[in-house]
Structure 1
Amino acid sequence: MNLHSTPPRSGAVLAALAGAQFTVMLATSIVNVALPQIRVGVGLSDGGTTWVVNAYGLAFGALLLAGGRAADLLGRRRVLMAGLGLFAVASLTAGLAGSSDVLIAARAAQGVGAAAIAPAALALAMGLFPSGAGRGRALGVWGAVSGAGGAGGVLLGGVLTQAWGWPWIFHSVAFGTVLVLAAVAALIPRASSAEGGKFDLLGTVTITVSLTCLVWGLTTARGSGWTDPGVLGALLGSTVLLGAFVVIERRRSDALVPPRLFRTGRVAAGNLLMALLGSVWIALFFFLPLYQQQVLGMGPLATGAGQLPLAAANMLGASLAPRVSRRIGDSATVIAALLTTAAGMLWLARISADGSYVGHVLGPSILIGLGLSTAFVQLTALAVGGVPPQDAGLAGGLVNTTRQVGGAIGLAALATLAGTVTTHAAVTRTPQLEAVTAGYRAAFTVSAAVLTAAALLALLLTRRSGWQRTVATAPARRSAEPRASAVS
């Protein structure tokens, strides 16, 4: 049995896979609003509170490549279900945690499960729609749920924390994950066999430890400072191991990241631009709720509700992205989306200490939502399109890795910048709220500059990589590729 023989179920299968992606993105942001209540509930220190967020991101970002390759070699359905099972158990454990150690360990376990879920689900979705307009629509759905998960996490976190307390943010994720697991088990047929091949253990360990050191060093630097010996040692170790990984991969026939993945140049272009997009994406959902709560004085529920326009714009942009791409071209769509997001960030940089949600947040949020989702859809298509079927899971893991690691780098740099600006303003006896707002303004201004640079880079990469036609609008000759082999 294969998905090609049951086309009426393709929509339901895509919904189940999109649900898996939604849970991963939801868990990224759902704790942000509830951090003060979580801190009191389990007795966290300042550093421990940060690690409620960092433990998830660290495990997720470091293991995505390994999760993607495991999906290719062991079977994508099998790895997806295992990841969902672990994610559900870890979420339930986090909600029941009575100590900080248990909570942080459970968040790390959530990250491990997410690293298996994200690339396996994306590979299955791309196998369901190998090429043509169908793939464009599927990527539109993917972009919509990814953005909605980030914004919806803030809303749901605020609602649940205010209504029933912080443990319910984790219980709700566990319940939702079980529903997704049941849907995947019922709708996606068992594959007759996996792709086969050897697992590059040496390369996997090297890059995983390298990414772990990088993400840990960047996230720790926000609290310990960039000159801390532990931070410097972690960043140096990451650099050395990354160089060793490149050497190892060139000499292995079973490389974790085989050179064939970058043969056309489009995969490299998509991942580079996705890293830049991720560097401001994750930071946005960190700074915006803080401004709403700390400066505007909004409560958890109001802060979450304030994310709804952004989420709605995100879903609209994702659904329109394939249509816009067919009309004006893929590269033009990416460039326009990046510049739209940059304009929204620049608008957001006009926030003030005596501002209002309607006057300073609502308009920029809608503009940013439209741009972010459109760019995400097109860059995902660029990064996973045209790769050999046996590498679909790896391509999905790679694009998620670059977004996650780019996000860690961007958040660390922007948080350091915002903190520095705020401290300098406080030294000059600027009122506290104005000093904090000045830091946020600086972060949003630099985010706009990064996105503008990404748009210029996209223009350059378009010419060098021959990226005038992407997988979302690929030639019809590829539509005849068998679906079953890619999905299984």
Structure 2
Amino acid sequence: MKTESAREPRTAPARTEAAPSVAVPPDPRRWWVLGVISLAQFVIAIDSSVVNVMGPRLKESIGLSTTGLQWVMNIYVLLFGGLLLLGGRLADVIGRRLVFMGGLVLFTLASLGAGFAESEGALLAARAAQGIGAAALSPASLSILVTVFADRKERAKAFGVWGAVIGIGASVGTILGGAIVNADWRWAFWINVPVGLLIGAAAVALIKAAKPLGERPPKDLAGAVTVTGGLLLLVYAIVTTSEHGWSDWRTLGSFGGSAVLLVLFVAVEKRSAAPLVPLRLFRSRSVVAGSLGEFLTAAMMMPIFFLLPLWMQEVLGYSPLETGLAYLPVSIALMTLAPVASQVIGRTGPRNMYLAGTVAFAGVLALLMGMPVHSGYSEFLLPVTALFGVGLVLCLIPTPIVGTSEATDADAGTTSALLNASTQIGAAFGIAVSVTVLNNRVASATVDGAAADVALVEGLQSGFTVLAVFLVLSVLTGLFGFRGSAAPALPAESGK
């Protein structure tokens, strides 16, 4: 009898430990929430690329200068990339839904203002406000996604949608820009207003508000100032290299100032009781690998979106609409393959899928390095854009899965902001490097007496060749950074 009674205390705890497994049921509205935040990310992605084909009409309509045309894109990227960490931390501190709605309101109003702009200054101010709004909206969206989906398989599907939306938005932005340029460029911005109102109404109905988990208000003012200033200077240095050059004192001074501020930021965070960005995130292999994956994918992706239209319009004579439609295979590949990739990533693992994406990118770069001076669409552009879409699917889906796999409910916004900042900085850096190489090669070929179209093609070939450096680094990131990575299965509460 004593033996049996002695055994009971050992078996009882096993029953009590099993009970909590029935704890938190999944949010029944989670798939609707995914639709809302994906639409928000879609709008942001479109506005990152829609101005690529607007140049001539902006010059005609409001007298935009060549420098002003560059800054229509640069001011958006500068503030978007520079303020992302602050936006992500605010999402953790004051609530994800509040930051999401605040960013959405600012982005929508700025879009309205951009459409009504009658001067260069007004347009640049509106684009600046769009960048600030996006810097709040984007990390808040991803952190809501991280916290709403607790189940590993469901989260993989959700990230599949998220990754596809980024690529589809970039390609649709080019198509939309081309179509609207043929009508009225202002509608490229005005279309965001009804969409923004729809997103806002749906967000209020579907995304739960909850008490913030962090300190309120943020106490790390020194950290906020140093990291925001450091990122702004870093992005400024990168996006202005085509204007000033890499060796210009303004570029070098901006890089140097950025380095000083970011070193000060690390020192401040070590001593802060409530750090803006917990330094432990930078010791997480998943966060570092995911951020590198985002940076390198964007560094290859955006130069292709940015440079290929030069060849289409200036050599092949494509109209803006034809240029946009040429990217249609990218969107088709993303829409058809993303659901499949989301289903199979649980079996393949993020590492294998990401490495398969780098193989597809290798094929794209091999074709672009041998770009002909003249070619029919089916002979060259069709295989390039189709393979490009495949590479985007296989690289964009695994990176957020890896990057957020160790995120907690208290730092989901900050982790999401790190990934988003990596994407924006990678895109700016990739474009800056490839454009610099392109310009140098075009100048050299012109001096050697090459025809204008031949010189441009040689420059494009060189600009795409330099992207091979990012490809090699992507392979190394996949091999060593994604090793042992799996789709996350974190406990989650509702998105704030």
Give the alignment partner of residue 208 of structure 2, picking from 181, 189, 196. 189
Distance in 1 (alpha carbons) for counterparts of 2:30 and 2:151: 14
Q: What's the offset of the Cα at 1:341?
A: 1.4
Asked if the contact 2:26/2:150 (under 8 Å) is kept, the reply is no
DSSP-derived class of the 2:466 partner: helix
Q: How does 1:208-223 map to 2 (within 5 A)?
A: 208-223=228-243
The match for 2:185 among 157, 166, 169 is: 166
1:243-392 correspondence runs (5 A): 243-392=263-412
2:261 pairs with one of 241, 253, 260? 241
Deviations 1:318-365 (A, max 9, x none): 323233322333212211112211221222222222122221111111
Deviations 1:412-448 (A, max 9, x none): 1111001111111111111101111111111222223
- Deviations 1:129-167 (Å, cap 9, x if unpaired)? 12410000000110111111100001111111212x111
| Cα contact 1:348–1:361 (8 A) shared by 2 | no
SS of 1:31's equivalent in the other structure is: helix
- Aligned residues of 1:76 and 1:123 also touching (Cα < 8 A): yes
User: Match for 2:416 among 379, 384, 396?
Assistant: 396
2:149–2:155 CA contact under 8 A, matched in 1? yes
Q: CA deviation at 1:482?
A: 4.3
**Counterpart in the other structure of 1:138:** 158
- AA aligned to 1:379 is T
**Is the Cα–Cα contact under 8 Å of residues 349 and 487 in structure 2 kept in the other structure?**
no
1:197-255, Cα deviation, whole Å (9 max, x unpaired): 13422111111111111111221120222232222211111111121112222221211
Select which of 104, 108, 116 maps to 2:128: 108
Q: Deviations over 1:60-117 (max 9, x none)?
A: 0000000000011011001101100000000010010000001011001000000001
Per the alignment, in what secondary structure is the counterpart of residue 387 of structure 1? coil
Query: Which deviates further from its counterpart, 73-82 or 439-448?
Result: 439-448
> Aligned pairs, how many?
471
Kindly indicate whether the alpha-carbon contact (under 8 Å) linking 2:286 and 2:485 is maintained by their aligned counterparts in 1.
no
The answer to whether structure 1 residue 469 and structure 2 residue 457 are counterparts is no
**1:418 corresponds to which letter in structure 2?**
L
Alignment of 1:431-470 (within 5 A): 431-462=451-482, 467-470=483-486
How do 1:4-43 and structure 2 match up within 5 A? Answer: 7-43=27-63
Asked whether the 8 Å contact 2:156–2:345 carries over to 1, the reply is no
Change (3 A) 1:68 1:199: farther
Aligned to 1:147: 167
SS of residue matched to 2:182: helix
* Equivalent residue for 1:52, pick from 59, 72, 78: 72
Q: State how far apart, in whole Å, the 2-side matches of 1:256 and 1:215 are.
A: 20
Q: CA deviation at 1:128?
A: 1.3
Contact map agreement 1:22 1:146 (CA 8 A) in 2: yes
Bigger mean CA deviation after superposition, 219-228 or 445-454:
445-454
**Deviation larger for 171-180 or 84-93:** 171-180
Query: Following TM superposition, by how much is the alpha carbon of 1:120 offset from its aligned partner in structure 2, in angstroms?
Result: 0.3
Specify whether residues 202 and 264 from structure 1 end up closer, same or farther in structure 2 by C-alpha distance, changes over 3 A only: same
Q: 1:65–1:394: 8 Å Cα contact kept in structure 2?
A: yes
| Structure 1 range deviating more: 45-54 or 439-448 | 439-448
Amino acid at match of 1:187: L
User: Structure 1 CA distance, aligned partners of 2:180 and 2:492?
Assistant: 45
Residue equivalent to 1:417: 437
- Say whether the 8 Å CA contact 2:294–2:423 is kept in structure 1: yes
Q: In structure 1, how many angstroms separate the alpha carbons of the residues matched to 2:368 and 2:330?
A: 13
Judging changes above 3 Å, is the alpha-carbon distance between structure 1 residues 442 and 74 closer, same or farther for their aligned structure 2 residues? Answer: same
Preserved CA contact (<8 Å) 1:217 1:231: yes
Alpha-carbon separation, structure 1, partners of 2:244 and 2:280 = 41
Q: Cα RMSD between the aligned structures?
A: 1.6
The separation in 1 between residues aligned to 2:256 and 2:59, in whole angstroms, is: 32
Deviation at 1:179, TM superposition (A): 1.8
Q: Is the deviation greater in 78-87 or in 177-186? A: 177-186
Please tell me whether the aligned partners of residues 215 and 408 of structure 1 are also in contact (alpha carbons under 8 angstroms).
yes
Q: Residues of 2 paired with 1:206 and 1:51: CA distance? A: 24
| Larger displacement relative to structure 2 (421-430 or 332-341) | 332-341
Write out per-residue CA displacement over residues 397-420 of structure 1, whole angstroms, 9 at most, x where no aligned residue.
Answer: 110001111111111111100111
1:6 positional shift: 7.7
Deviation by residue 1:11-43 (Cα, 9 ceiling, x = unmatched): 211100101111111110011111211122111
CA contact (8 A) 1:343 1:448 kept: no
Which stretch of structure 1 is more off in the superposition, 384-393 or 108-117? 384-393
TM-score, normalised to structure 2's length? Answer: 0.91
Name 2:195's counterpart in structure 1: 176
Cα deviation, residue 257, structure 1: 1.6
> Residue deviations 1:456-484, cap 9 Å, x none?
2321334xxxx413235x4xxx5xx2433
**Is there any run of 5+ residues in structure 1 with no aligned partner, and where?**
none
Asked if the contact 1:334/1:375 (under 8 Å) is kept, the reply is yes
Larger displacement relative to structure 2 (123-132 or 257-266):
257-266
Separation in structure 1 between the aligned mates of residue 55 and residue 241 of structure 2, nearest angstrom: 20
Tell me, yes or no, if structure 1 residue 230 matches structure 2 residue 250: yes
Per-residue deviation at 1:5? 6.6
Structure-1 separation of matches of 2:284 and 2:170: 32
How high is the sequence identity, in percent, across the aligned residues?
A: 38
Between the aligned partners of 1:454 and 1:196, the Cα distance in structure 2 is: 34
CA contact (8 A) 1:249 1:258 kept: yes
What is the alpha-carbon distance in structure 2 between the residues aligned to residue 329 and residue 447 of structure 1? 26
Post-superposition Cα deviations, 1:235-287, rounded to whole Å, max 9, x if no partner, equal: 11111112111222222121122133245421111112221112112212111
Is there any run of 5+ residues in structure 2 with no aligned partner, and where? Answer: 1-23
More moved, 352-361 vs 117-126: 352-361
User: Which residue of the partner structure matches residue 5 of structure 2?
Assistant: none
